[in-house]
Amino acid sequence: MSTETMPWWKEPTKGQWASFTAAWLGWVMDAFDFTVFLLVMKQITEEFGVTYTSTAGTIALTLLMRLVGGVVAGWAADRWGRKLPLMISVIWFAVCDGLIAVAPSFTWVLVLRTLFGFGMGAEWTSGATLAMENWPQRSRGIASGILQGSWAVGYLLAGVAAGLVVPVYGWRTLFLLAAVPALLALPIRFLVPESPEWEAGKAKGRSNEVSWREIAATPGVLKRLAWGSVAMAAGFGGYYALTGNYSVLLLKNLGQSMQGVSWHVALFNLGMLSGAIACGYVAMKKGVTLAVAVPALSMVVVTPLYVGVAPELLAVGAYLAGVFGAGYSGVSPLLLTSLFPARFRARCVGIVYHVGAVPAAFVPMGIAYLAESGVASLPVGMGVVCAACQLGMAAMIVFAPKDAGASSATPSTDAALAH
């Protein structure tokens, strides 16, 4: 049976599956460690006697530091390979988040979550690049959706853990669980092969010597960096408008218990997981424009259900928001890795993904401030910002580079940048 006729899941080798699984698990655990904080913001605010705006500001610091981690990991991944920064990043973010369990003050929470952001940014950059470069070109679209959908799995697990652990053992115990991902570094070291595209470049003596000046001088790169960063900003803004203050909305505005928070978070992430895989498949078959624009526009309609305008439909809104408001993130690994050549791909992917997170970093804090100052209620603030970002995402994807999202990332990208 030729590779063109065999099912897509039979084509990857054991090594390719190992690389993909390592990146997938890394993002699951990264998501768990990031979102446990979102789920206990109310408890942290009350224990340390700070405002919700201050607690939400911690999210901004985390996401800002992601940019630094992404840039550093991208440079390291292009120079020394994708595996090393992936291993270091997993240990880094797990240890930083685990230490919050014994944080004596809110200042320590701020410091540890800021440091956590560095490892978080490094993990996605190195992991996504490793997974996409190792995976067969024919099915990179569906693989992209499954990879990014792993964030939903981690968030779902965090929601389940919060519902079970926090009411009995308190919020600090949740962060002890966040230290477990550090164990993933061992199988990455011994079972995961290095990226073949990076190895091929190294063999030719050019893989790790491309300077920032050369990258900037490559025709088309700066334009792609700018477009990708703005597109990611719109996507991240919509996501953090949905999730950054969601637990506070459920607990304070809608009268839910921690078990209720756990249930609705689980529904949201089941929707995101199914949406990410579906959007990745659509991107592979029909292109990224359709895979992103349709869900983003649909989310504008779904937003009122998500923020509780009709409380009896809150569960429906949670699931649909995951499908339409976060599902198109499944296109991100394929889209971003297709924009740049392999010889400096990791650095550019790290810049685009994490520069996009910078403006979005202030979304949860801004929404919390509007609510606390009486300018707009929490549901209204979340709904308006989310809808605006979804419209922006739909508009940006229309102007995507023509080869964006191509399954065969390297040939099409190199050709496009040569003109």
Domains of the chain, each with CATH number or no CATH: 13-417 (1.20.1250.20)
| Average pLDDT value for residue range 374-400 | 95
Give the three-state DSSP class for 403.
Answer: coil
In the chain, what are the helix, strand and coil shares in percent, each to the nearest 5? 85, 0, 15
Place 271 in a pLDDT band, splitting at 50, 70 and 90.
Answer: very high
Q: Residue 209: pLDDT band by 50, 70, 90 thresholds? A: low
What does the pLDDT read at residue 409? 42
Q: Is the pTM of this model over 0.85?
A: no
Structure tokens at 56: 């939400």
Determine what percent of the chain is predicted with pLDDT higher than 70: 93
The Cα 381–Cα 374 span in angstroms is: 11
The mean pLDDT value for 191-195 works out to: 83
- Residues 247, 42 contacting (CB under 8 angstroms): yes
- Greater confidence, 10 or 373? 373
pLDDT tens for residues 240-265?
Answer: 999 999 999 999 999 999 999 999 99
Confidence at residue 107, expressed as pLDDT on a 0 to 100 scale: 96
DSSP-based three-state secondary structure for 374 = coil
Side chain identity, residue 404: A
Amino acid 414: pLDDT: 44
Least confidently predicted of 119-128, 228-237, 259-268, 303-312: 119-128
**Cα 381 from Cα 366, distance rounded (Å):** 9
Euclidean distance between CA atoms 165 and 76, whole angstroms: 37
